Amino acid sequence: MSHEPDMQSVADGIRELGYYPFHLPLGLKLNESDRTKSPCIRCDTFDGYPCLVHAKADADVNAIRPSHEKYANFTLLTNAKVLRLHTSESGQEITSVETEIAGERHWFAGDIVVVGCGSINSAVLLLRSANDKHPNGLANSSDQVGRNFMKQLETAIVSIHLEVNHANFQKTIAVNDCYWGEPDFPYPMGMVQNTGNVLADMIPAEAPPLMAPFVKLIPHYERHLLAERSVGWWLQTEDLPDPNNRIRVVGEKIHIDYTLNNTEASDRQVKKDKKL
């Protein structure tokens, strides 16, 4: 996506300091050469908000909706909670998917069963599907299902400028110069990208916990003055796999054991980017 003028000036400033900002790849249905063929309108509520014109190229827009329209044998069930997977006596095949819909149990079968419940609930479903052949859960003879849970170390920074930022769509810049570390720290520190626009109503919710009570006292108009002079940045550092960071199922309860790690790399990234 092209930079709007105010964001272009930010990118130029970063480049003048010796870094290599680039255009952030985004999954948007945008055709900048022919806007009549473009669902995306580059609005100011893109990041973190539902898209009202269906311009985000996500699985719903790009896969589920077209399939539902094209194929007569496509059925989508919502509000259906999958409870467990049942196997054959040999334990080698999934024979049914046990599901709860509107308080009633239903069982579904198919030649192919795809588990796509996200990093936490995929592990939960496999662990809850334990049976005689798989006493520790399906696909878990190695005791690795649910282990090495990673969630990344993420920091949001807002830079406040004296001049108004007129860019309507600000999430276009990325910087990866520190991805492989620094001369005195040869370990990956992470990547930097813009957040979407900072809006006045977001500031109290996103403020650090100690500041939040005071930020709420700032009148909306003054928060608006801050928001329109700001640029949001999103810093992302990978955490590291640790077998003790894991998803566990005890009875009906889900336990997430997680201890932060790789914090030195994240702290260096934050320090460096605040200076930048």
138-195 tens-digit pLDDT: 999 999 999 999 999 999 999 999 999 999 999 999 999 999 999 999 999 999 999 9
Beta carbons within 8 Å of 228's beta carbon, 6+ residues apart: 164, 165
pLDDT of residue 214: 84
Give the integer Cα–Cα distance in Å for 19 and 67.
Answer: 43
SS3 state of residue 160: strand
For the stretch 30-57, what's the b/e string if a residue is b when 16 or more beta carbons lie within 10 angstroms of its beta carbon?
A: beeeeeeebebebeeebbeeebeeebbb
Task: Write out pLDDT tens, residues 236-272.
Answer: 999 999 999 999 999 989 999 999 999 999 999 999 9
CB-side neighbour CA atoms (13 Å) of 10: 29
For the beta carbon of residue 183, count every other beta carbon within 10 angstroms.
5
Task: Write out pLDDT tens, residues 213-236.
Answer: 888 888 988 999 999 999 999 999
Strands 94-101 and 173-175: unpaired
Give the integer Cα–Cα distance in Å for 246 and 161.
Answer: 42
SS3 state of residue 68: helix
Give the integer Cα–Cα distance in Å for 14 and 276.
Answer: 8
pLDDT of residue 86: 98
Residue 237 and residue 262 in contact, taking contact as beta carbons nearer than 8 Å: yes
% of residues, the chain, pLDDT over 70: 100
Name the band, by pLDDT with cuts 50, 70 and 90, for residue 83. Answer: very high
Ramachandran angles phi, psi of 42, nearest 5°? 55, 55
- Residues 57-69, mean pLDDT to the nearest whole number: 93
Residue 188 and residue 153 in contact, taking contact as beta carbons nearer than 8 Å: no
Q: Is the pLDDT of residue 106 over 90?
A: yes
Give the integer Cα–Cα distance in Å for 10 and 89.
Answer: 63
- Residues 80-86, mean pLDDT to the nearest whole number: 97
Residue 194 and residue 170 in contact, taking contact as beta carbons nearer than 8 Å: yes
**How far does Cα 269 stand from its chain's mean position?**
19
